[in-house]
Structure 1
Amino acid sequence: MPQTVKVAVVGSGLAGLTAAYLLKKPLHREDVDFEVHVFEKASSIGMDSASISVPVSGDQEWRVDVPMRSFQGGYYTQLIALYRSLGVDFRQKNFSYSFSDLSPGRKTRQRSITTSFIYNGASGRAGISKPSGFSASPLHKDATALLRHAWGTWTWLLYLGTTLQVVFCYLITIYHALPYWRPRNIPDLTFREWASRATPTNFIARLIRMDTAWQDYIEMMFIPLVSAVCTSPEDVVLDHPVEEILDYVWLTLGTNHYVVVNGVCDVVARLAADLHHIHLASPILSIKPDPRDPGCATISCSTDGELKEYEGFRHIVFATQASGAVPILSSYSQSLGSDRENRKQMIAKQIECLQSFSYRKSIVINHSDDTLLPDNAQDVRDLNLLNLLKDATLSSPLDSRPSLPKFPDLCVSPTHTMATHVLPRPKGHDSQIPRLFQTTNPIIPPKMDTILSVATLERAVVNTESKKALRLLCVAQKPKWYQCPYQAKTQLGELQGGRTGSDDSEAPSIWFLLGRWWKKEY
């Protein structure tokens, strides 16, 4: 007869569901059976709780994942292995990108969205395209053929110069991303410090103005791209540890992007198939020692306004945001007696570690407003990145931030990069459904009558402080000479489990699965 060990998993995102799924898989040991309870404060499983269903025809629906779910083949190898083991179908989807600037409206003119660069994806294999702005002519229609030819030649030279600038600067980025050529202090450098140090400063570079070209590349392309991927404002991007960014650049070189064929709901269904104790709409109020067994814990939660208690948990896995775990751990510490001082000190260390992680708000809007796309339809791509034009301000009434009871928050600060994804229509329904878009971190709002849903999410801020704190939960071993730090093997940090050595048998183990350690997909 196997021994039943109860495990509580707090949170039902990808990390929480995967932890619960792996615990329920058959073990080599037949003397242990894990009884896993998943606690989720939302009314649906967290990984799919913000997604929406759009009616298509009859009783058919189009499921739109919120937030956007895609994963990079070179970076998310563990995620791909998990999906394959689950039988999840996914397909290659190499997104194309447009980079545009927003010029706010004034009394004499409307706002404009002008594209400066178009990248066709596939790690560069699909090439780039010339934005329409390089072809538009300010000449009068009666201008001579010579003038028109001269203008056309000038725009092509300008486009060629921009292309060469991006190519050379990207090659410099790849050079710095090579694992075996990085400086020893790279783990401690921020993106801001690295971008300054990487600026070409030799005589020839200054002579051909590569130093200026590099700074323009960082401001106009690199920062917006990282801001969109991390859903963070510019100041957070500049303080981001550059080692992780260079790891991403290196591991995604020459590889493909993928999306799940049947949406994230398919992943949720497969992960949760064998989970029989999922407590939805059940925020945890407190954790306290189990009165029947000091080596276990009792969890109190609120379900439909009713207080419920679940006893006998030998392990507690926090697969939620650090900010959500802190008050729960505090309640547990307060419930311990004066004779458990060592245990309290360990929990205090865990809380101090978790408080090193901070979060920023991210907004995702599904809508049908195409005015958030580049003004010229020829410039529109799968993902359309938009930044406020340098030194511009959003002061026009057209660009103000509305606040309505139904949608109180529609915009983030203009230091974010706004990303609008043109959602691909379901096969067989192309002509029946209007085009839909998903805008992440809007700096200008879509028209109110086009909005389908608004989701407000919290994203972890990665900085040098949180990176140091993460080492207390997950310790990376030294990578091989050809590997980057992301590829290094890892082991549990000193705060995992919460063991003190003196009273291990009289307390439940406490574990943490944070998003950055889990290496979630974007």
Structure 2
Amino acid sequence: MAREVKVAVVGSGLAGLTAAYLLADNAQKTQDVNFEVHLFEKAPMLGMDCSSVSLPATGLCDHSWRVDVPMRSFQGGTQTQPSSPNDPPGPDALKGYYPQLIALYKRLGVVFREADFSYSFSLFTPPTAKQDRQINATMIYNGSSGLAGLSMPSILNEPYHLTKGRGFFVRALTRAWTLGLFVLMTMHITLCYLRMLFHALPFWRTDALETTTFGEWAEQTVPTSFLARWTGMDSAWRDYTHTVLLPLFSAVCTAPEEDVLQHPVEEFLDYIWLTLGTHHYVVVHGVREVVSKLTTSAQHIHLSSNISGISPDPQDPHLAAIHCDTPQGSISHTGFHHIIFATQASRAIPLLSSYRDSLSQQDPKRQAAEAQLQCLETFEYRATIVVNHTDPTLLPDDRRDQRELNLISIDRDPAVSQGKAKDNWSATTVPFSYTMATHVLRPPKGYPTHLPAVYQTTNPIIPPKEDTILSIAKLERAVLTVKSKEALKGLYREEGRKFWQCASQGNCLLGELQGAGRLSDVQGPGLWICGSFAYAGIPLLEGCVVSARAVIEQGVRISEGVETMRSPW
């Protein structure tokens, strides 16, 4: 008869759902061990889809329009989806920044499509006594990894429009001047882009880059030769890093500019290199399809279960008990051999602290839990706001400048923004140090053309009109620092990386803190940690999948003497 091993998964985001799915995988089951998985979620619905919103059916649409919150795009190779979920992904599918996520989606049969977004980069000028607010594009990127080229921002055409009625010669001269300015700008951007790719090459990097911040790197890489100064490349590079890369990664990390400047640059260079020549993808039927497929085999899902504490099982101190506050009152679940914290580090800390405090000072389990806590406390989080709305004024003022993704930053020119700094939060806005990203959502087939377009704005620095707001979600995202990157080695480490590979392309191994001693000689429940932050790279969806898989295959199963018989995807 199979031995029952009870596992608690705390959190139902992608990391928690992946961990539960892998433990329930029928192809990996043995006659010796049966894993009984309990999934705990404090919200009334599973976490990965709990912030999404459904817009009512209209016109020819016979079903509601489900809008994912936040946006869940990812990048990978060009291979189309296999004809069967059982077909292994080809090598091209494993290119990009999200190889394990894409492989998981293919295994599940999740349908996704290419969405090679175009971008606009704009500056927001606050209103003054003499002029209204302005949002003017400074660069327009047409997508496809640069193959679609750049477009001229409308503000460059303004001098030409002002010459209307002033004669052919004046207008032709002005047109030539604006085109020449755009060509010069394009040349500078192209050279800076190629220079950035050169610096992103893994085999050109030095070991010092592991602890170098983006702000330090941006300054260290400014060209200083006479030719660079004579051609203006030094100024062009500073402008490129601060008006293109800084807002781009502020949007990717949903973090303020000061955090981006202090972010380790190695992860940004990995992202640049691994996404080169790849496609953006989005899930066709929304992340609720992902949730549905990952929970098909789940048997014990505890919703609206806010965990108030964890303690040793009163019947067996080698096991753990989980105490929850529910609408029905306080409930205790006992007999857990393993607890997987698949939630934010900030959320795991009080839970792990409650378990540590329930142990005696001399208990080795307490010391192991304390080491995990010290590691988790180094990870930082930043709040983010996502608003779905129909207000087009959060886009560039000129319609010709508007693209699928519109990144807008405050104009830092003292001449236009002096005294206009805004560091306070409101229900719908964040400080000016964030980059506002507005996504023009693609409506479903049959959506009436007379209805307004729907936009999703992440971190608005200006509020949408109140009567246009469809939903507001307040979330938290992990932000990597040099300190937390060093602490990460206790949870995740990589080895076997080739000289031409990035950090995430090496072999993924669990750090020594994982399991709280369960993989050595400490007798007690295994305490495991996974999530977007528990992985080498920017905290994104790929980290959820990779860290969850490592915890299950190298942690829970190994400690129970169960061998992973084949790759899960």
- Alignment match, 2:440: 422
TM norm structure 1: 0.95
**Contact 1:70-1:521 within 8 A present in 2 as well:** no
- Alignment match, 1:39: 40
Matched, 1:111 2:133: yes
Give the distance between the partners of 1:321 and 1:394, measured in 2 at CA. Answer: 38
Q: Deviations over 1:24-68 (max 9, x none)?
A: 002253211111111111111110010000012286200000001
C-alpha spacing 1:439/1:186, structure 2 compared with 1 (3 Å): same
> How many Å apart are 1:502 and its aligned residue?
8.2
Q: Deviations over 1:184-242 (max 9, x none)?
A: 21111111111111111122112212111100111111101111111111110001100
The SS at the match of 2:145 is helix
- Alignment match, 1:25: 25
The SS at the match of 2:431 is coil
Structure 1: state its 5+ residue gaps: none
Question: Which of 313, 329, 332 is the equivalent residue of 1:290?
Answer: 313
Give the distance between the partners of 1:430 and 1:252, measured in 2 at CA. Answer: 35
**Contact 2:164-2:171 within 8 A present in 1 as well:** no
**Contact 2:423-2:431 within 8 A present in 1 as well:** no
Letter paired with 1:13:
G
**Contact 2:58-2:448 within 8 A present in 1 as well:** no
Letter paired with 1:513:
C
Question: Which of 502, 517, 520 is the equivalent residue of 2:534?
Answer: 517
Give the distance between the partners of 2:25 and 2:520, measured in 1 at CA. Answer: 32
C-alpha spacing 1:70/1:386, structure 2 compared with 1 (3 Å): same
Question: Which of 64, 76, 88 is the equivalent residue of 1:61?
Answer: 64
Q: Deviations over 1:239-282 (max 9, x none)?
A: 11000000001001111110001000100000011111111111
Give the distance between the partners of 1:400 and 1:286, measured in 2 at CA. Answer: 39
Question: Which of 447, 459, 469 is the equivalent residue of 1:441?
Answer: 459
C-alpha spacing 1:510/1:402, structure 2 compared with 1 (3 Å): closer
Give the distance between the partners of 2:362 and 2:25, measured in 1 at CA. Answer: 38
Give the distance between the partners of 2:520 and 2:509, measured in 1 at CA. Answer: 23
C-alpha spacing 1:437/1:276, structure 2 compared with 1 (3 Å): same
Give the distance between the partners of 2:343 and 2:493, measured in 1 at CA. Answer: 20
Letter paired with 2:317:
P
**Contact 1:343-1:500 within 8 A present in 2 as well:** no
Question: Which of 238, 242, 246 is the equivalent residue of 2:269?
Answer: 246
> How many Å apart are 1:474 and its aligned residue?
0.4
Give the distance between the partners of 2:461 and 2:519, measured in 1 at CA. Answer: 52
- Alignment match, 2:185: 162
Give the distance between the partners of 1:303 and 1:348, measured in 2 at CA. Answer: 28
Give the distance between the partners of 1:421 and 1:57, measured in 2 at CA. Answer: 21
Q: How does 1:373-384 map to 2 (within 5 A)?
A: 373-384=395-406
**Contact 2:422-2:432 within 8 A present in 1 as well:** no
Letter paired with 1:488:
G
C-alpha spacing 1:172/1:410, structure 2 compared with 1 (3 Å): same
After superposition, the CA RMSD in angstroms is: 1.9
C-alpha spacing 1:393/1:206, structure 2 compared with 1 (3 Å): closer
The SS at the match of 2:541 is coil
TM norm structure 2: 0.87
**Contact 1:475-1:493 within 8 A present in 2 as well:** yes
- Alignment match, 1:2: 2
Aligned residues: 514
Q: Which stretch shows the higher mean deviation, 460-469 or 387-396?
A: 387-396
> How many Å apart are 1:427 and its aligned residue?
1.0
Matched, 1:315 2:338: yes
Q: Deviations over 1:275-325 (max 9, x none)?
A: 111111111111111122222101000111510010110000001011111
Give the distance between the partners of 1:472 and 1:119, measured in 2 at CA. Answer: 40
**Contact 2:423-2:433 within 8 A present in 1 as well:** no
Q: Deviations over 1:91-130 (max 9, x none)?
A: 1110000011111111222111111111011111111111
> How many Å apart are 1:380 and its aligned residue?
0.7
**Contact 1:478-1:485 within 8 A present in 2 as well:** no
Give the distance between the partners of 1:488 and 1:500, measured in 2 at CA. Answer: 25
Letter paired with 1:221:
V
Question: Which of 480, 483, 487 is the equivalent residue of 2:498?
Answer: 480
> How many Å apart are 1:138 and its aligned residue?
5.2
C-alpha spacing 1:35/1:435, structure 2 compared with 1 (3 Å): same
Question: Which of 497, 506, 514 is the equivalent residue of 2:515?
Answer: 497
Structure 2: state its 5+ residue gaps: 77-95, 543-569
- Alignment match, 1:95: 117
Give the distance between the partners of 1:273 and 1:294, measured in 2 at CA. Answer: 33
- Alignment match, 1:179: 202
| Percentage of identical aligned residues | 50
- Alignment match, 1:83: 105
**Contact 1:400-1:444 within 8 A present in 2 as well:** no
The SS at the match of 1:479 is coil
**Contact 1:401-1:444 within 8 A present in 2 as well:** no
Q: How does 1:189-228 map to 2 (within 5 A)?
A: 189-228=212-251
